[in-house]
Chains A and B, each alone.
Chain A
Amino acid sequence: MHYTSAQNLSEQFKNGEVSAQEIVSFHLKRIANHDPKIQAFLSLCSERVKEKARLLDLKRKSGAQLGKLAGIPIALKDNIHLKGEITTCGSKFLENYRAVFDATVSQLMEEEDALIIGKTNCDEFAMGSSTEKSAFFPTKNPWDLNASPGGSSGGSAAAVAAGFSPLSLGSDTGGSIRQPAAFCGIVGFKPTYGRVSRSGLVAFASSLDQIGPFARSVSDAALLMEVIARHTDDDATNLSIPQEKYREELKNFSPRGLKVGIPWRFLEGLSVEARKNFEEAIRELKSAGLELVDIDLEILNLSIAVYYILATAEASTNLARFDGVRYGTRASGFKNLEELYDLSRQQGFGPEVKNRILLGTYVLSSGYKDAYYRKAQQVRTLIIKKFHEVFALCDYVAMPTSPTTAFELGSLQDPLQMYLQDIYTISANLAGLPAISVPSGFSSDKKPFGLQLLSPSCKDSSLLSLAHLYESHTQWHKQIPPFAAEAL
């Protein structure tokens, strides 16, 4: 059962081959047996999900219409609210914070009879690329238990790769879905900015954050998109565009006449092995019928600098609410209001979060705002314009998801080295574009590579279709980590 696709599992449930309660108890047992090695989960919603499963079995027996996600266990990154459950954001600050409302995505999934099974580990407040910055413990990569699963949504990626749930949700601010998907050999999709409501996602950088699915196939990711990518009235940046028929379009997709742009010059720094993998991937695209064109995206060399100004500026204000007054960590022994603030934040936040708050505060300060924040906004506008130009020449852009495969835990100590992890993923967030990572093979030491594909804004369905075409040509997504061979 643990490597059955989400759609097959749901079909089996709907046909009565397996009950929701059996599905839940199997997955909980599997998590109990194997998650101590991976540590993908921060908490499980065992009682809640068992009850949901019991009710779902009754619903099925009653003959009522079953939802699109009926019987599918889904894991949530722990910065997405599930009412009544703890949302830590991987931070000590919110160690005991119970969500007071459902994230829109949680609500939408449960309306379609999903079985939300647990909350997954992440870098603190989604700030990181390795899940090592979680205040609790690092998550391990199912392909190599000494390696990072990537981050910040490392727990959600590892959970799907390890067969703990066929689907999970992550959030992507600068690559936090795509890079862990690549590291863990699965599919990770960041939709167009505004496709999915952010209500109930604890904000890191509001203009960049986007919730998206992890899956073991593009088709399963498309299924989840059909449920969560909807216009709602609870996020003012949520786009008012019609829902797409993602899975139907996968089937009807024809690559004839479509072009994929490759920013060769921007990719000059790639290591030999990563370059080789990427070249193989685009050869596959070509043989699948796509035309390849060389495009200029050298401006993306500025994307990390721009990102670390804009994202930290937004984060410094988004995280200002964590002050010990209303909820979360409140330091003891403060003598006045200033100390309440200082000590609570000192004790509640980890070093990476503090770094970013300081950086963000600095770039917005008077005297520096013009040189940093405003300048970065201008470059962001240029990047958006550049993508417009590029998409006049081609229909998609292909890049590696990450410059490397999963690195050893603890090996990236220099923050700048860690920030460079995101060089290929950040631009999609800056420009608000949809981008997907699909498995594209393995390194000599048996760690997965990911191919990243981008498309123009709002062409999410078309992008998933191309990824699906690539996936069906290569079949890399069917590989299973050796650790996960046994079922229970």
Chain B
Amino acid sequence: MIQEWQPVIGLEIHAQLNTRSKLFSRAPNRFGDEPNTNITSVCTGQPGTLPILNREAVKKAVQLGCALNSHIARKSRFDRKSYFYPDNPRNFQITQFEEPIIVGGEVVVELDGELKKFSIDHAHIEDDTGMLKHFSNFAGIDYNRAGTALIEIVSTACMHSAREASSYAMALREILLYLDISDCNMEEGSLRIDVNVSVRRKQETALRPKIEIKNMNSFHHMELAINAEIARQIRIYEQEGDIQVGTYRFDIEKKETILMRKKEKPADYRYFPEPDLPPILLTDAFIEEIRNNLPELPAARYKRYVEVLGLSRDAAVQLVSDKPTSDYFEETLKNSSNAKSLCNWLLVEFSGRVKQNNTTLLKLEIPPHHVATLVNLIDSGTITGKIAKSVADEMVQNPQKDPAHIVQENPDFRPIDTASIEPLVDAVLAENSESVRDYLAGKGRAFDFLVGQVMKRCKGKASPELVNQLLRSKIDSQGLG
């Protein structure tokens, strides 16, 4: 039965731009401060105040448009959107309704080994509201957030499963992070996703009524919510019922979507051009300058990791989807060219160690070049992989300590030279003449045994290559003798 239905999903993603000041005032754009401290007379809608557009916000919007391969409007403008609510200090929001700055564009996602393109309808700049705080017998308003620059990215109704929706949203989030235009923190509300969902019979071409789900605080919840809503709509249609159009929220306990408010008739926001702000006029030169200076985007970085650095797809995905770690990896690459080993040390060795200590590599602040030094010490044969693991233990304990110093200071980590290994090799050969004969007779395992014996005696401090080499040359010379 379920196969007969096709979900149709579109997302509206609000991302707060991480500009230094707000969209229309000089007030700082900062989360988490004492209520009503980051405000100017503009933020509380005092009479006589005027909005002044933040150029940094425009630049960041254009960066996004370039990254999404959108059309950047040479002329866009603001509109007033009227509605009364206490968190809306002018009782109108300044948004871009008729002429948005970004039109079209796409987000490309690799999903189950297949490239999928999700298309953007438009993206526009607008200002955020304040926040209502409810107390026992009154409500307060914090205008710190009021006037923060938002970019609202509206997709087309191009997604057909919860996974598609979340992979699109995650890919978009990565792009925003790589452009460094938003902090994209869903818990703090700097990334907010509204989902529009409807279902239809597979052969239908028209869309059925959609509902909106608001306030999702993670991608996981978003997937759960969409799946619950799809199932609910199908159930209702199969029972010949009607979908109640409106805004829903997702109840995590009950795992179901719950109607918050019905939409009987569309709200009349009485949009009209904002007379206090002239249109935003952009030159080709301005846009090209931004396009030519875009940072590396996640898709390009993934491609480079796999094709140029030779990382596994899994490792590349793991790095790219965690921008801070990926950036850290980039730093380590400046001092070592062994990308695979660096990647392994970051994603496996260090990540395991810091997890035990309940922290993260970045929080520990081990300088990236120290990780590179460690890999170089191994690659040059100065220390063995085994010793490197002990050195790494100590790096986690003393994050600022250079691994080269750690090795130097600890006699156990000090590299063993040929002169000190030679007597050990001689002793092992003398005590295991049978194994030597076996080796000479062509039994490879006998040689491995001999290597193991030497390593045992030097407590693993000699590099296996060196031991191999010494053993071979000694046996060969013995054989000749």
Chain A residues near B (Cβ < 8 Å): 80-81, 87, 89, 94, 97, 99-101, 103, 198-203, 205-207, 233-237, 313-314, 316-317, 320-323, 325-327, 337, 341, 361, 364-366, 369, 373
Among A203, A234, A323, A373, which residue has its beta carbon within 8 angstroms of that of B84? Answer: A323
Q: What 0/1 pattern do residues 39 to 55 of B give for CB contact below 8 A with A? A: 00100111111111100
Q: Do B52 and A317 touch (CB < 8 A)?
A: no
Chain B residues near A (Cβ < 8 Å): 41, 44-53, 80, 82, 84, 86, 89-92, 141, 266, 268, 270-272, 275-278
Among A80, A199, A364, which residue has its beta carbon within 8 angstroms of that of B272? Answer: A364
16 contacts between A and B (CB under 8 A): A94-B47, A99-B48, A199-B48, A200-B48, A234-B50, A234-B52, A236-B51, A236-B53, A237-B275, A316-B82, A317-B90, A317-B270, A321-B45, A321-B90, A323-B84, A327-B46
The interface residues of chain B lying within 8 Å CB-to-CB of A364 are: 82, 270-272
CA distance A361 to B277 in the complex (A): 21
CA distance A200 to B48 in the complex (A): 4
Which residue of chain A is the closest to B274 with respect to CB atoms?
Answer: A206
CB distance from A96 to the nearest CB of B (A): 13
Q: Do A320 and B92 touch (CB < 8 A)?
A: yes
Task: Determine which residue in B45, B50, B82 has the highest number of CB atoms from chain A within 10 A of its CB, and name it.
Answer: B50
The interface residues of chain A lying within 8 Å CB-to-CB of B48 are: 80-81, 87, 99, 101, 103, 199-203
Q: Do A326 and B89 touch (CB < 8 A)?
A: yes
Query: Given A100-B41, A325-B141, A369-B272, are A202 and B47 neighbors across the interface (CB < 8 Å)?
Result: yes
The interface residues of chain B lying within 8 Å CB-to-CB of A323 are: 84, 86, 91
Among B44, B50, B80, B272, which residue has its beta carbon within 8 angstroms of that of A198? Answer: B50
CB distance from B135 to the nearest CB of A (A): 15
CA distance A365 to B268 in the complex (A): 7
Q: Do A199 and B47 touch (CB < 8 A)?
A: no
CB distance from B248 to the nearest CB of A (A): 23
The interface residues of chain A lying within 8 Å CB-to-CB of B268 are: 365-366
Q: Do B275 and A206 touch (CB < 8 A)?
A: yes
CA distance A151 to B268 in the complex (A): 34
CB distance from A83 to the nearest CB of B (A): 10
CB distance from A335 to the nearest CB of B (A): 14
The interface residues of chain A lying within 8 Å CB-to-CB of B276 are: 203, 206, 235-237
Q: Do A317 and B82 touch (CB < 8 A)?
A: yes
CB distance from A314 to the nearest CB of B (A): 6
CA distance A313 to B274 in the complex (A): 11
The interface residues of chain A lying within 8 Å CB-to-CB of B51 are: 236
CB distance from A231 to the nearest CB of B (A): 13
Q: Do A233 and B52 touch (CB < 8 A)?
A: yes
Which residue of chain B is the closest to A101 with respect to CB atoms?
Answer: B41
Which residue of chain B is the closest to A345 with respect to CB atoms?
Answer: B84
Task: Determine which residue in A198, A234, A320, A373 has the highest number of CB atoms from chain B within 10 A of its CB, and name it.
Answer: A320
The interface residues of chain B lying within 8 Å CB-to-CB of A373 are: 272
The interface residues of chain A lying within 8 Å CB-to-CB of B47 are: 87, 89, 94, 97, 202-203, 321-322
The interface residues of chain B lying within 8 Å CB-to-CB of A81 are: 48
CB distance from B85 to the nearest CB of A (A): 8
CA distance A337 to B85 in the complex (A): 9
Interface of A is mostly: loop
CA distance A234 to B41 in the complex (A): 13
The interface residues of chain A lying within 8 Å CB-to-CB of B270 are: 316-317, 361, 364-366, 369
Among B49, B53, B86, B271, which residue has its beta carbon within 8 angstroms of that of A325? Answer: B86
CA distance A94 to B47 in the complex (A): 10
The interface residues of chain B lying within 8 Å CB-to-CB of A201 are: 48
CA distance A424 to B82 in the complex (A): 32
Which residue of chain B is the closest to A341 with respect to CB atoms?
Answer: B84
Which residue of chain A is the closest to B53 with respect to CB atoms?
Answer: A236
CB distance from B78 to the nearest CB of A (A): 10
Which residue of chain B is the closest to A99 with respect to CB atoms?
Answer: B48
CA distance A323 to B90 in the complex (A): 9
The interface residues of chain A lying within 8 Å CB-to-CB of B89 are: 321, 326
CB distance from B434 to the nearest CB of A (A): 91
Which residue of chain B is the closest to A324 with respect to CB atoms?
Answer: B86
Q: Do B90 and A199 touch (CB < 8 A)?
A: no
CA distance A235 to B89 in the complex (A): 19
Q: Do A317 and B80 touch (CB < 8 A)?
A: yes
Q: Do A236 and B277 touch (CB < 8 A)?
A: yes
The interface residues of chain B lying within 8 Å CB-to-CB of A321 are: 45, 47, 89-91
Which residue of chain B is the closest to A97 with respect to CB atoms?
Answer: B47
Q: Do A326 and B50 touch (CB < 8 A)?
A: no
Which residue of chain B is the closest to A208 with respect to CB atoms?
Answer: B275
The interface residues of chain A lying within 8 Å CB-to-CB of B45 are: 321, 326
CB distance from A381 to the nearest CB of B (A): 13
Q: Do A317 and B84 touch (CB < 8 A)?
A: no
CA distance A341 to B88 in the complex (A): 13
New A-B contacts (9) at CB < 8 Å, excluding given A320-B84, A369-B272: A94-B47, A233-B52, A313-B272, A314-B275, A317-B272, A321-B45, A325-B86, A326-B46, A337-B86
Which residue of chain A is the closest to B52 with respect to CB atoms?
Answer: A236
Q: Do B41 and A207 touch (CB < 8 A)?
A: no
CA distance A321 to B51 in the complex (A): 14
Q: Do B278 and A237 touch (CB < 8 A)?
A: yes
CA distance A234 to B89 in the complex (A): 19
Kindly list the 9 A-B residue pairs having the minimum CB-CB distance in the complex, ordered from nearest: A320-B91, A207-B275, A364-B270, A206-B275, A202-B47, A321-B45, A200-B48, A321-B90, A366-B268
CA distance A325 to B141 in the complex (A): 10
CA distance A329 to B51 in the complex (A): 24
Which residue of chain B is the closest to A326 with respect to CB atoms?
Answer: B44
CB distance from A200 to the nearest CB of B (A): 5
CA distance A94 to B272 in the complex (A): 27
The interface residues of chain B lying within 8 Å CB-to-CB of A80 are: 48
The interface residues of chain A lying within 8 Å CB-to-CB of B49 are: 101, 199
CB distance from B436 to the nearest CB of A (A): 88
The interface residues of chain B lying within 8 Å CB-to-CB of A341 are: 84
CB distance from B229 to the nearest CB of A (A): 29
CB distance from B269 to the nearest CB of A (A): 9
CA distance A316 to B271 in the complex (A): 12
CB distance from A127 to the nearest CB of B (A): 14
Q: Do B50 and A235 touch (CB < 8 A)?
A: yes
CA distance A373 to B17 in the complex (A): 33
CA distance A316 to B46 in the complex (A): 16
Task: Determine which residue in A80, A327, A341, A364 has the highest number of CB atoms from chain B within 10 A of its CB, and name it.
Answer: A364
CA distance A325 to B132 in the complex (A): 12
CA distance A233 to B24 in the complex (A): 12
Which residue of chain A is the closest to B90 with respect to CB atoms?
Answer: A321
CB distance from A130 to the nearest CB of B (A): 23
The interface residues of chain B lying within 8 Å CB-to-CB of A316 are: 82, 270
Which residue of chain B is the closest to A89 with respect to CB atoms?
Answer: B47
Q: Do B50 and A199 touch (CB < 8 A)?
A: yes
CA distance A402 to B50 in the complex (A): 31
CA distance A80 to B276 in the complex (A): 17
CB distance from B419 to the nearest CB of A (A): 75
CA distance A234 to B91 in the complex (A): 21
CA distance A336 to B52 in the complex (A): 34
Which residue of chain A is the closest to B139 with respect to CB atoms?
Answer: A337
Which residue of chain A is the closest to B269 with respect to CB atoms?
Answer: A366
Which residue of chain B is the closest to A103 with respect to CB atoms?
Answer: B48
The interface residues of chain A lying within 8 Å CB-to-CB of B277 are: 236-237
Task: Determine which residue in A207, A236, A316, A327 has the highest number of CB atoms from chain B within 10 A of its CB, and name it.
Answer: A236
The interface residues of chain B lying within 8 Å CB-to-CB of A198 are: 50
The interface residues of chain B lying within 8 Å CB-to-CB of A337 are: 86
The interface residues of chain B lying within 8 Å CB-to-CB of A200 are: 48
The interface residues of chain B lying within 8 Å CB-to-CB of A236 are: 50-53, 276-278
The interface residues of chain A lying within 8 Å CB-to-CB of B92 are: 317, 320
Which residue of chain B is the closest to A320 with respect to CB atoms?
Answer: B91
CB distance from A202 to the nearest CB of B (A): 4
CA distance A101 to B25 in the complex (A): 14
CB distance from A235 to the nearest CB of B (A): 5
The interface residues of chain A lying within 8 Å CB-to-CB of B266 are: 366
CA distance A211 to B52 in the complex (A): 19
Which residue of chain B is the closest to A325 with respect to CB atoms?
Answer: B86
CA distance A409 to B53 in the complex (A): 44
CA distance A322 to B91 in the complex (A): 9
